[in-house]
Amino acid sequence: MKKILFILTSLLLMLPAFTAGAQRVTDGNYRTVAHIKSDGTIQDDNYRTIGHIKSDGTVQDSNYRTVGHLKSDGTVQDSNYRTVGHIKSDGTIQDGNYRTVGHIKDDGTVQDSNYRTIGHADGIPKAWVAWFFFF
């Protein structure tokens, strides 16, 4: 019994190190849907890696296949470099035809085009949040 307790305690103590630097992404009801680490690794609610956002803006799936690109001017492109959206500096998210599809407020609140709250992602770059929720 002491051995099991020791193992469980050790695992619990290691958990903060495992999740260090990860910010929680929640839905509109504050249920965790993902974690995004400071290195751009995207994990599901069970900490399984589901994607990556690289420092050059390349977005990859869990198998490191490129699925898109985030350009420094806010343009969002698919894996074939076709423009599929735009992220404006004020947090407005637009599709490839410049129609507003959502908003990301400075406090991390994510809203749809009708300003209904669909999620929260405080402390995560807006471009990363936009990719997660809208692309």
The confidence score (pLDDT) of residue 18 equals: 39
The confidence score (pLDDT) of residue 11 equals: 35
pLDDT band at 127, cuts 50/70/90?
confident
Lowest mean pLDDT among 17-26, 57-66, 78-87: 17-26
Quickly list DSSP for the chain. -HHHHHHHHHHHHHHHHHHTTEEEEEETT--EEEEEETTSEEEETTS-EEEEE-TTSEEEETT--EEEEE-TTSEEEETT--EEEEE-TTSEEEETTS-EEEEE-TTSEEEETT--EEEE-TTS-HHHHHHHHH-
pLDDT in tens, 96-105: 999 999 999 9
pLDDT band at 13, cuts 50/70/90?
very low
The domain limits of the chain are 22-134
Is pLDDT of 42 > 70? yes
